[in-house]
Chain A
Amino acid sequence: MSTWQFVAWLVNSSDFPSLLTVMESFHYHFFEGEMIVNLTVTLTRVLISFTIAMILGVVIGILMGISKRLNQLSDTLLIIVLNIPALVTILLCYIWFGLVESAAIMAVVINKVPTVVVMIREGARVVDEDLLNVAKVYKLSWSKTFFSVFLPQLYPYIMASARAGLSLIWKIVLVVELLGRSDGVGFALNTLFQFFDIAGILAYTFAFISIVLVIENIIFRPLDTLIARGIHHDRT
């Protein structure tokens, strides 16, 4: 931080604002501007698209992982969708469905689902058959086998795709907002860009990073601990 402050003082340009200027801008946008509204809107979009993408990705990933036939049928499609640029999907969704909320969410979901599918499919392929055989021998019900034996083996893969997914969704949502929405952080950043307000852009970035760190600490780390239970213990 002190290096930043020092370099900003050295450069002395509005293109490289000091930390103090960025904090002042943050204070302004947070208390007097529309930062809270924009953050709330963007967070809601992220949450909705993240949830839909994860549910769809996990279900499709499991099905492709356990069914060779389905995997063979869908593998090419998956690779195609995986490699379509995010921008193309966003533009097509806006053109086909209009500049509406559902098109924005759909564009984000289409971009995210394939990456979740790939990760979960790999997890489902390496599920321990021996443990599933235990469930079979002891005649566990379908739901008990799935939720107590099969799914826990996928938790590390779900966590990895959730972490990677959240960072990707943040970025895509901003592009979606920048291109076709009239609110949200992406829209705000676009406006700030029009005025070359670098301090404002950095203030929003700071808010963004803070939220990501909060999510990491209150959601992902406790989930990590829960998932790792029984796996990283030393022998007593």
Chain B
Amino acid sequence: MIELDIAIKNKCYANSPSVVLKEVEFNVEPGEFVAIIGPSGSGKTTLLNMLSGLEDSTAQTILCNGKPINGFKEVQLGYIFQQPRLMPWLTVQENIQLVLTNPEDIKIKQLLAQVGLAGKENYYPKQLSGGMQKRVAIARAFAVNPELILLDEPFNSLDAPTATKLRQLLVELCKIRKSTVILVTHDLSEAICLADRIIFMSDSPSSLIHQCNVDLPKPRVESGCDELAWQAKLIQQYPNILSGSLISISDCSTA
């Protein structure tokens, strides 16, 4: 399992002098599910792109199990983007086969059955709904047996029931695979529902301003009493979090 130590200072956008990540420092325990919350444009996606190697991170400190990493070349990574990013000219099965070095039809079929797409192997992405395409993207991410999964607001364009189903699916798959997960979202209820810990980022140039453990038993449901109480408290405390005046994590813990 993957343990991460991240320390990013004064990270600029590519081809731009403006700083997007001023000071972001946190660690992720092996098998932990961390959610990162922040306003739009606070550099959440940039952070994930640095972790995945899509953005340059050579001047920053990102340690994986204590060793510096270079675009996670040695670590098997699963990335679920905001859009499914499936190859339109490939079928569902071919899209998954594409990322595998030794594609096994049986394994792919099992995975597709797990995400509720049994029998859709030969469909093209355009023939599937948005939710189904997201399922394929999830299947693709888990097909590589990822040690680390990065999720960039994966359910934000979906209707609520579909998003809820996919969150449950994600939790189940993460539980089975025991992967370390970093989720970027601006949806507080989603973060409470999924994460072991929530990290708050400020507006751009962003810094890590607060983090709190979600001490609720899993599986969680968005409409659960405890979850809603947590959400209400966090929303109440959100201005304090943004202003930096919230001192203790327990300030937002439920009874």
Contacts and interface: CB of A to CB of B under 8 A. Distances in A.
Interface string A134-155: 1011111000100011001001
Contact of B124 (A133, A148, A230): A230
Contacts of B88: 230-231
A234 B87 CA distance: 16
B98 interface: yes
Interface in A133-181: 133-134, 136-140, 144, 148-149, 152, 155
A152 B98 contact: no
Contacts of A139: 73, 77
A130 B80 CA distance: 12
The interface residues of chain B, by DSSP majority, are classed as loop
Contact of A137 (B52, B87, B89, B125): B52
A130 B81 contact: yes
A140 B126 contact: no
Nearest to B140: A138
B33 interface: no
A137 B124 contact: no
Interface residues of A, number: 23
Interface in B148-178: none
B124 A233 contact: yes
Contacts of B81: 130, 133-134
B67 interface: no
Contact of A131 (B85, B123, B126, B129): B85
Interface in A76-100: none
A137 B89 CA distance: 19
B124 A229 contact: yes
B99 A140 contact: yes
Interface string B76-119: 01010101010111110000001100000000000000000000
A236 interface: yes
A138 B97 CA distance: 11
A130 B83 contact: yes
A180 B121 CA distance: 57
The listed residue with most B CB atoms (<10 A of its CB), out of A144, A152, A227, A236, is A236
Contact of A233 (B77, B90, B126): B126
Contacts of A131: 85, 87
A140 to B, nearest CB: 7
B249 interface: no
Nearest to B146: A138
Interface string A109-145: 0000000000000000000001101101111100010
A225 to B, nearest CB: 12
Given A130-B83, A230-B90, A137 B126 contact: no
Contact of B129 (A140, A231, A234, A235): A235
Nearest to A141: B101
B174 to A, nearest CB: 18
B98 A144 contact: yes
B144 interface: yes
Nearest to A228: B89
Contact of B127 (A130, A140, A155, A235): A235
B167 to A, nearest CB: 22
A229 B89 contact: yes
A149 B77 CA distance: 19
A231 B126 contact: yes
Nearest to B100: A138
Interface in A181-236: 227, 229-236
Contacts of A155: 89
B1 interface: no
A230 B125 CA distance: 7
A62 to B, nearest CB: 18
The listed residue with most B CB atoms (<10 A of its CB), out of A134, A229, A232, is A134
Given A130-B83, A136-B53, A152 B124 contact: no
A131 B81 CA distance: 11
11 contacts: A131-B85, A134-B79, A136-B54, A137-B53, A137-B77, A140-B98, A230-B90, A230-B124, A230-B125, A232-B126, A233-B124
Given A138-B77, A235-B127, 14 more contacts: A133-B85, A137-B52, A137-B54, A139-B77, A144-B98, A148-B90, A148-B98, A149-B98, A152-B87, A229-B89, A230-B89, A231-B126, A232-B126, A234-B126
5 nearest A-B pairs in the assembled complex, by CB-CB distance: A230-B124, A138-B99, A137-B79, A233-B126, A230-B89
Interface of A: 130-131, 133-134, 136-140, 144, 148-149, 152, 155, 227, 229-236
